[in-house]
Structure 1
Amino acid sequence: MTLLAAEGVTLAYGTTAVVHDVSLTVDEGGVGLIGESGSGKTTLARALLGLLRPRSGVVRYGSADLAGLGRAGRAEFRRAVQPVFQDGSEALDPRMTAGASVAEALTTHHRVPRDERRDRVAALLTGVGLDPALAGRRPHEMSGGQRQRVAIARALAVEPRLLVLDEPTSALDVTVQARILDLLEGLAADRGLGYLLITHNLGVVGRLCRTSSVLFAGRVVESGPTADLLTRPAHPYTRALRDAVPRLGGEPPRTAGRTEAAPAPTGCPFRLRCPWAADRCRDEAPELRELGGRKVACHRAEEVLTTPASSIPASPAARVPRDGGEAPDAPRQ
């Protein structure tokens, strides 16, 4: 069942488009949105939450156009789709206690009578692994992991159908990240929650998400089952993200030198960083197409899919000018 969807969405700040014709479906279960900083992930999330209006395209909640919802429909949407942001210290009001922050959601959406709110807040804090005694603390009196759990408890207070999680563990240390991931996994299983997980952390998306989309320069370049994308990527950018993850005791990441070039202004946006780039990539932007149970926007996806790591072509990084201008064309492949 489709809970939330973007259909051909283009988003811009002023005259600058930052998300280009993106289609994405969030159904029951976990859906990942992967990409480096500046790829447009958070901008797209803001549109899915109704905080930005697309320049073109449609955001749908169920079958309804989000932009056309009336007052009652928007109230229902805000209850059903809840965000959890990257940094709990910024998401929580520093003047309010943890208990007051969670109770505010109950009050705004009229979920619980006044005389039952204290008990409900205590149950929500317990449900995310916190001592209810923390209800009296303000954000600066809690650890990063505790603040993030309070933010999750506040989102769950209104019994949503879907969580939009924007880098929910990136501000936390490794041990706290593991606890938050355990919490999210358990909540999804126990409550039947759907969620959109926005991240650059491939380990997180591999654990929580059944399907994923990879965003580069505001464009979906590959989408499909998460396990397939991470184990056998068909787009050079997906492969670069995977290969850039350090491995304990392993060799340095092969792609570390291919991360400086800006998107190409013509042809394939990734071609200035792509070891598979050919003449066709300079002249023709690839369309998103079906390939073996996934979608990929690459002219040479079949080769990328089958090329072993030891045979990846040489990096084009040395050809990228320091002034940010157009690099010389890649040699013919």
Structure 2
Amino acid sequence: MTSRETLGTEGVTLAYGTTAVVHDVTLSVGEGGVGLIGESGSGKTTLARALLGLLRPRSGTVRYGSRDLASLGRKGRAEFRRAVQPVFQDGSEALDPRMTAGASIAEALTTHHRMGRRERHDRVAELLGAVGLDPALAARRPHEMSGGQRQRVAIARALAVEPGMLVLDEPTSALDVTVQARILDLLERLTAERGLGHLLITHNLGVVGRLCGTSHVMFAGRVVESGPTGTVLARPAHPYTLALRDAVPRLGGEPPRASGRTEAAPAETGCPFRLRCPYAVDRCRDEAPAPRDLDGRRVTCHRAEEVLSGLAPVAGGERTGPGAPRQ
């Protein structure tokens, strides 16, 4: 396995017990950044667990390169764990509170590389410097560090084994705004310098717009829109992507306004988003939309052309003209 391998899913459905929470998802992460966008509960982290080999699909395949993760032997699993490293939301949960920062990083080195004590010490200092920390911080435990310092240590620990891929699960959401900016600067620099592929899981559209060339938008365990990040965010073709974008506050502008019934659960028949969608018509109730290509992206919506054109829905989701609901 090399740093150029691709991590991805093919028609993956994931379940907890008898309840499916991710439905038929196909995506690919190679060199460069891929964003996975959605609100809490959309299935982003569950999908990440499958990509990390922590959750086996009910159906479909998770692959790294040409190899199915389910078929890897002991050696293959060890290689995969080295090659694909996670960075989680909160550094305090990723680090053992009983261990110093240096010991946490050295543990990763010991697991995957044979090094003498002096070599490990020098490598820990080098990694701390690479993430913008004083090597003297190696003597501190997590509770003796700030949130930003803990997250930098977690990134250094992930980089210790020289991975080819990072899975970043909301890596800045537990930090204040100024620290978020510094961590984003760090991730942007490190992934570019080291040629790392990365999957960024987030609900923050600004973050994904900065770090990811391609993005997938998830709602209720389904990918509803995929394409180049700039295209998807600048001109959404799915009402859910549009709602996410319009919910972002703008400095000096009007407060964001929710559209549709934001509290409604996913519909069990037809389009899962229809109970929250101001564009919904009878067809959305009767027929689940299929993914299709439109204007440089892939979208799962019967009325994507209207959304893309900026045609505004009237109050209550009822519309006039072709495709309007029957009276």
1:290 lines up with 2:293 in the alignment: yes
Distance 1:215 1:122 in 2: 39
Corresponding position of 1:327: none
1:20 lines up with 2:26 in the alignment: no
Q: How does 1:137-156 map to 2 (within 5 A)?
A: 137-156=140-159
Distance 2:68 2:262 in 1: 37
Shift of 1:114: 3.0
CA contact (8 A) 2:259 2:278 kept: no
1:273 lines up with 2:273 in the alignment: no
Corresponding position of 1:93: 96
Corresponding position of 1:314: 315
- Judge which range, 104-113 or 11-20, deviates more: 104-113
Instruction: Tell me the amino acid that sits aligned with residue 281 of structure 1.
Output: C
Instruction: Tell me the amino acid that sits aligned with residue 90 of structure 1.
Output: E
Match for 1:196 among 193, 196, 199? 199
State TM-score, norm by structure 1.
Answer: 0.93
Corresponding position of 1:166: 169
Corresponding position of 1:302: 305
Shift of 1:315: 5.0
For structure 2, which runs of at least 5 residues remain unmatched after alignment?
318-323
1:44 lines up with 2:47 in the alignment: yes
State the aligned residue count. Answer: 319
Shift of 1:145: 0.3
Shift of 1:113: 3.2
* SS of equivalent to 1:93: coil
Q: Deviations over 1:278-314 (max 9, x none)?
A: 1000011111111122100000101100015xx3433
- The runs of at least 4 aligned residues of structure 1 exceeding 6 Å deviation read none
* SS of equivalent to 1:104: helix
Distance 2:256 2:137 in 1: 42
Q: Deviations over 1:75-109 (max 9, x none)?
A: 11000000000011111000000000000000000
CA contact (8 A) 1:7 1:59 kept: yes
Shift of 1:256: 6.0
Instruction: Tell me the amino acid that sits aligned with residue 126 of structure 1.
Output: G
Percentage identity across paired residues of the two chains: 83
Distance 1:41 1:212 in 2: 12
1:234 lines up with 2:264 in the alignment: no
Shift of 1:115: 2.5
Corresponding position of 1:319: none
Instruction: Tell me the amino acid that sits aligned with residue 81 of structure 2.
Output: R
CA contact (8 A) 1:286 1:297 kept: yes
CA contact (8 A) 1:223 1:296 kept: yes
* SS of equivalent to 1:99: helix
Shift of 1:21: 0.5
Shift of 1:39: 0.2
Q: Deviations over 1:231-263 (max 9, x none)?
A: 000000000000001111111213266320000
Corresponding position of 1:121: 124
For structure 1, which runs of at least 5 residues remain unmatched after alignment?
317-329
Corresponding position of 2:320: none
State TM-score, norm by structure 2.
Answer: 0.95
Distance 1:72 1:2 in 2: 17
Instruction: Tell me the amino acid that sits aligned with residue 212 of structure 1.
Output: S
Corresponding position of 1:178: 181
The two structures, once aligned, show a CA RMSD in angstroms of 1.6
